[in-house]
Chains A and B, each alone.
Chain A
Amino acid sequence: MLIIDKDACIGCGLCEDNCPFDAIAVVDGKAEVNDNCTLCGSCIEHCEVEALSIPRDESGAIDLSAWSGVWVYAEYRQGKLAQVSRELLGIGRTLADKRDTKLSAVLLCADAADVPQQLIAAGADQVYVVVDPALENFNDDSYGAALEDLARKYKPEVILAGATAIGRSFIPRVATSLNTGLTADCTQLAIGDDGHLHQTRPAFGGNIMATIMCPNHRPQMSTVRPMVFQAPEPDGSRTGEIIVEAIAADRLASRTRVVETVLTEGEQLNLAEAEVVIAGGRGLENEEGFSLVESLADVLGGAVGASRAAVDNGWITYPHQVGQTGKTVASKLYVACGISGAIQHVIGMKSSETIVAINRDQNAPIFDVADYCVVGDIFTLLPPLVDKLKERSGKE
């Protein structure tokens, strides 16, 4: 629990102001904690007189020195290596170099083709490959058991995976089986001076960033959103070691079976790879309002994006959602119309080259990430803007 040193406490109230959960308050000049406390540590961070602490029992710590090497799970489905796996080899390289250790990729598949070479070209020193017909289609049981068994055998200190449908499904299984920590949707990764992996992700309703560590357990595991890190240019001259592993048949047996895979890539890929994205949020007020965004996208030849609010309200379907629980885009132009800019949304679009935000609330956080800010009414601005652009593209 949270310990308050009443002698050190000066009753300044910084803890109260910074508690996201209304769990600490100054009563009679001293801080007092209540049942709402989640032990998030925000108050400790802000206390200037070190009056607050959360004692930890470190007795369960394992021998950390037995674990070394950085692993990247190489996601391979339908004959394609996921782009996020290349991106992870980029950041993985940085982490491995800092730790002075090897960077390895893990490939689970029914047919490896030339993927191990691709992974080496992208920065891996080693590739662990499991080829088995049981791995033909992604399923949590077989993939989870395979990665778990490899991790137990080779003891990597870090395992990174894409925060994709596949990664977000079976990586939590692996972490639970290995009895270790897992941090979802990291946006920054670094090795601290303490040698631990510092994993940063949005937290507490998404308006605060939190740095999370897993100091006494190994491996340290993270999932990372696509398009957060840069993929290195492939270097065909790199050499590396390919280690072929077999996993026991009973471990690959699955209680789930894929009967059919239906690919509906079109719409979704367009958004993730679109050069121009016009996105709308709560400020559009209704489906009719949202159609303004669609007409602007139309005239600019762009894809339509949306905040979670717009999707939740049913103005547009989920494949258009941009943000932490939707797509990540890195477009040339991103226009945010009536989107307040909660960090969950911002994470999905902040890598865009030029960001234009239109919002009637001048304090909307979207303006903090925008290059061009328009404080104004969408319904007044958008119709003449669409007309103007139509006129212009008609001329040229």
Chain B
Amino acid sequence: MNIVVCIKQVPDAKDVRLDPETNTLSREGVKSVINPYDRHALEEGVRLKEEYGGTVTVISMGPPQAQAILTEAISCGADEAFLVSDRAFAGADTLATTYTLAQAVAKAGKPDLVLCGKQATDGDTAQVGPGLAVRLDMPFVTCVKKVRTIAKDVLTLERMMDDGYDVLEVDLPALLTVVKEINTPRFPSLRGMRRARDYQITSLTAEDIGADSSRLGLGGSPTQVVSVFPPEKKGDRTMIEGSVAEQVDKLAEILFDSAFGA
């Protein structure tokens, strides 16, 4: 089975915070990591390969430094890695991104299964997986929490819903987006790290993937960011000060009244 996993480099969420003085994002010490959900997609791809045979190809669209996450993916069991990188991609919204990724996936081979994380933690849109499936003319299932079986080109899986979960059958080839419950990602193996050290990542430009330049980046994006501003703050607030005993007394009062009061 030919499995493609799409991964994205994102700022490590726990490092990102707002500078209270200037109200801007503090970028000091912010590391870049594999989008957490994509780790689970990669792990699922590697597990399915181990069970059913085949190859795992990872693809990332991003700046040159996104190489780092592809190398990491190789060390965690991916066989091949492609970096789709071009300044022409800058400013892409999800529509332009899915176009670019679809061109790259087609270039990388003919997948039986495409796996993505359910969303990236920087944008949180959850739109790229379904959009990519449309471009590849594949059925898709979002928020998959378990792949039960693959038999005769039909996948049986569990999808998270707001009120529980659905059990679905899906015809292959298909695209899945996965949630964290699906597995626990492995750490890089020693063998994987050795392979990653020598592995040459294939870089693909807009030209390499045969992209129509009018559909890329900002120009290919129907949505436009027209303004950015800090979230509004609440007006009146009461500071509860004093010794621990005093704070506990006041807190108990407030909590009790709010929870049980009129």
Contact = CB atoms under 8 A, between A and B. Distances in A.
A388 to B, nearest CB: 4
A214 B223 contact: yes
A370 interface: yes
A396 B99 CA distance: 64
A53 interface: no
A172 B125 CA distance: 9
B260 to A, nearest CB: 8
B50 interface: no
Interface in A127-179: 137-141, 164-166, 168-170, 172-173, 175-177, 179
Contacts of B163: 77-78, 263-265, 268-269
A29 interface: no
B180 interface: yes
A12 interface: no
A170 B159 CA distance: 13
Interface stretch (A100-108, A115-123, A203-211, A244-252): A203-211
Contacts of A269: 163
A371 B11 CA distance: 31
Interface string B85-101: 00100110111001000
Interface in A306-337: 308-309, 312, 318, 324-325, 332-333, 335
Interface in B114-156: 119, 122-131, 133-135, 139-143, 156
Contacts of A35: 63-64, 87
A369 B91 CA distance: 32
Interface stretch (A36-44, A229-237, A283-291): A36-44
Given A60-B214, A179-B95, A260-B166, A207 B255 contact: no
B213 to A, nearest CB: 10
A373 B139 contact: no
Interface string A334-368: 01000010111010000001101010000101011
A333 B93 contact: no
B225 A211 contact: yes
A176 B240 contact: no
Contacts of B91: 38-40, 54
Question: Interface range on chain B: under 10, 10 to 19, 20 to 34, or 35 or more?
Answer: 35 or more
A342 B143 CA distance: 23
B94 A182 contact: yes
Q: Chain A contact residues: over half helix, strand or loop, or mixed?
A: mixed
Given A301-B259, A354-B258, A209 B228 contact: yes
A173 B127 CA distance: 8
Contact of B16 (A164, A207, A215, A217): A207
A169 B259 contact: no
Given A214-B223, A312-B36, A392 B63 contact: no
A198 B233 CA distance: 21
What DSSP secondary structure best describes chain B's contact surface? Answer: mixed
A20 B24 CA distance: 7
Interface stretch (B70-78, B103-111, B190-198, B245-253): B245-253
B252 A38 contact: no
A212 B225 contact: yes
Nearest to A363: B20
A356 to B, nearest CB: 6
Interface in B23-37: 24-25, 27, 36
B134 A372 contact: no
B214 A264 contact: no
A147 to B, nearest CB: 13
B25 A137 contact: no
A184 B93 CA distance: 11
Interface stretch (B51-59, B167-175, B200-208): B167-175
Contacts of A318: 179-181
B259 A282 contact: no
A18 interface: yes
A42 B22 CA distance: 14
B62 to A, nearest CB: 10
Interface string B224-244: 111111110110111111001
A180 B25 contact: no
Nearest to A275: B259
The 5 lowest CB-CB distance pairs between A and B, nearest first, are A39-B91, A181-B222, A255-B139, A181-B223, A217-B222
Given A35-B87, A213-B223, A342-B13, 6 more contacts: A42-B228, A165-B161, A205-B122, A342-B16, A354-B258, A373-B240
13 contacts: A17-B24, A40-B91, A54-B91, A137-B166, A203-B123, A205-B13, A209-B228, A209-B231, A282-B14, A324-B124, A332-B259, A333-B255, A340-B17
